[in-house]
Structures are given as C-alpha cells and as structure tokens.
Amino acid sequence: MEYEPLKAALARLTGTRVLARRLFFAFGGLIFLREWMIKRAVRQLPFDRNREISILDAGAGFGQYSAWCLRRFPRASVLALDIREDLVRSGQAFVRLAGESRLRFEQADLTGLRDKNRYDLILCVDVIEHIEDDQRVLGNFYRALKPEGRLLLSTPSIYRRHQPDSRFVDEHCRDGYSDAEIRRKFEKAGFSRLRIVYGYGFWGDSAWRLGIRNTLRLAAKGPAGKAAAALYFVLCFPLLILGNVLDYIHSPFRGTGILVIAEKPDKP
C-alpha cells in the first residue's frame, strides 16, 4: 500500500514519545468518523464502567481504541494484538514509557487465536477485510468471548458510490460485505442478536474523500506535496467535521462502512 511508509514513520515517531502518541490519538479521534461510531457503540453497551472487564483489540494498529477503552473502563485490562512487528514494538514502547500497566501489545495472527471464554469485549476495526479466511477468524472471536460477551466489528461494505481507490484497498481480500453476507457469516460462527449500523453515507463518504483521501494523495507527492497537503487540509477541515457530524446524527440507510455489534449467547 502506498501509505504504509507513513504508518511505519508514525510508529517510529510515537513509540518513544508519549505526548506525540496521545496527540495523534486525539487528532484521529477528532477527524475519523469511524472512531466516532465505534466509541458510540461501546458507550451503548450494557457494561458497568466500574466492573473488571477483559478486552481484546484485534488488529490494534497504533492502539488508539485500546487507549480509549482504558479511559472508558477504569478497571479494564486490554490485550492489543497486531500482525505487524513494527506496530507491536512501537506499542510496547509506548506502554512502557506511559506506565499503562493494564495494556499489553503482542504480535499475533488472528487466524491462530486460541483463547476460550476469555474476553467480555472484542474490537476489530477495519481488519477482517484483509484476511482471506474471515470465517475462521469470526469463529475464533466467538470462542474467545465469554457468554454474553460482545464483538464490535467495523469493515467496508459493498455499497459504494465510487470505484475504490487501489491505494487504499490493494491489501484487501474483498471489496466489502453485503448485509446478507455479514449476517450469514456471523450466524454461522454462532453469534446472535446482531445489530448492523451503516456509516459513511453521502455526507460521511464525501467528507472522507474531500478531507482525508485528497490530503493523503497530495502528501504522497514529495516535500512540495506535503506542504500543499497541510494547507489543503486546514482549508477543508470545517467541511470534514460538518460532513462527519451530519453522517453521525443521521445514520445512513446504506453506506461504505458497516459496524456490526454481535452478542455471544449465554447458552449455546
């Protein structure tokens, strides 16, 4: 992917700079509609904020959701898994320097997850579309959850208004999921009480293309492009936030993103 070097640079920069990583998390939480949706869904879960819960951040990346969950649930413990060694090493350095004793980063392939009845909550954000054997991973998540545990999974849908940009999706194993397909796969894994929420409808998708995609395209064009990208982003920022707000308030009937909230039944 064209932007993988940017992710690697961010991992190096923020791994040993706690303030930089926290600012990076705060900035991402401000501009990415996906984060707004995930956090809203977590807040709506019937979990007592003060109970001890175990959380798996499956495909954690930089760990922004892991860090947020620690604030949301003061007695939670979080395991952040990712397949990329550089992101895991960066996360481990951050945990060590920040003194985050309730957060652990480990390198792992989700197709090999073997935990059983361990987690109250699993987050999987924009990961499953990268995995060929997605059904196996969903089965692993089901087994790893405690009874009445929840899985929150975000992934692209097939409902696009534009052709996907290969620079963002060239590592995907599939273009996205339909409502029927995602339900079938979750139910086959054993999940019940599925709720599907769409995001990135007209307003959210337009905001992403205008404010995020175009900025990254400019930034990929060398030093001059990075300078142009910074100016462009500042000018587009109000429209980006406005589009996100409209999409967040008026959840679209269909959108380019799917958020699935699923529950493992108390009894099989």
- pTM summary value: 0.91
Q: How confident is the model at residue 265 (pLDDT cuts 50, 70, 90)?
A: very high
CB–CB of 243/203 below 8 Å?
Answer: yes
Burial category of 135 from C-beta neighbours within 10 Å (exposed 0-12, middle 13-18, buried 19 and up): middle
Q: Decide if 63 is inside a domain.
A: yes
- Shared domain for 167 and 52, answered yes or no, is yes
197/211 same-domain check: no
Claim to verify: residue 185 and residue 244 sit in the same structural domain: no
Q: Is residue 116 a part of any domain in this protein?
A: yes
- Per-residue pLDDT band for 182 (boundaries 50, 70, 90) equals very high
Is 113 part of any domain?
yes
Amino acid, res. 158 = I
Give yes or no: residues 223 and 125 share one domain: no
Going by pLDDT thresholds of 50, 70 and 90, the confidence category of residue 266 is confident
Residues 216 and 240 in one domain: yes
Contact indicator for 261, 197 with CB cutoff of 8 Å: yes
Residues 212 and 191 in one domain: no
* Residue 119 covered by a domain: yes
**Residue 100 and residue 17 share a domain:** yes
Tell me if 268 is assigned to some domain: no
Q: Examine residue 52 and state whether it is found in any structural domain, yes or no.
A: yes
pLDDT at 168 over 80: no
What domain range is 219 assigned to?
205-251
pLDDT value at residue 135: 97
CATH code of the domain covering residue 15: 3.40.50.150
Give the model confidence (pLDDT) of 15-39 as tens digits: 678 888 899 899 999 999 999 999 9
Q: Which residues lie below 8 Å from residue 141, measured CB to CB, with a gap of 6+?
A: 58, 113, 122, 124, 151, 189
Residue 77 sits in the same domain as residue 210: no
User: Rounded CA gap, 16 and 86, in Å?
Assistant: 13
Is there a contact between 252 and 223 (Cβ–Cβ < 8 Å)? no
The helix/strand/coil state of 129 is helix
Q: How confident is the model at residue 165 (pLDDT cuts 50, 70, 90)?
A: low
Both 36 and 62 in one domain: the answer is yes
Q: Are 238 and 151 contained in the same domain? A: no
Note whether 162 and 92 are same-domain residues. yes
Average pLDDT, the chain: 90
Domain tally, the chain: 2
Residues 126 and 224 placed together within one structural domain of the fold: no
| Residue 241 pLDDT exceeds 70 | yes
Contact between 125 and 98 (Cβ < 8 Å):
no
CB atoms within 10 A of CB 23: 12
Instruction: Residue 146: name the closest of 114, 116, 123, 102 by CA.
Output: 116
pLDDT recorded at residue 1: 42
Give the residue-averaged pLDDT of 221-245: 94
Question: Residue 107 pLDDT more than 70?
Answer: yes
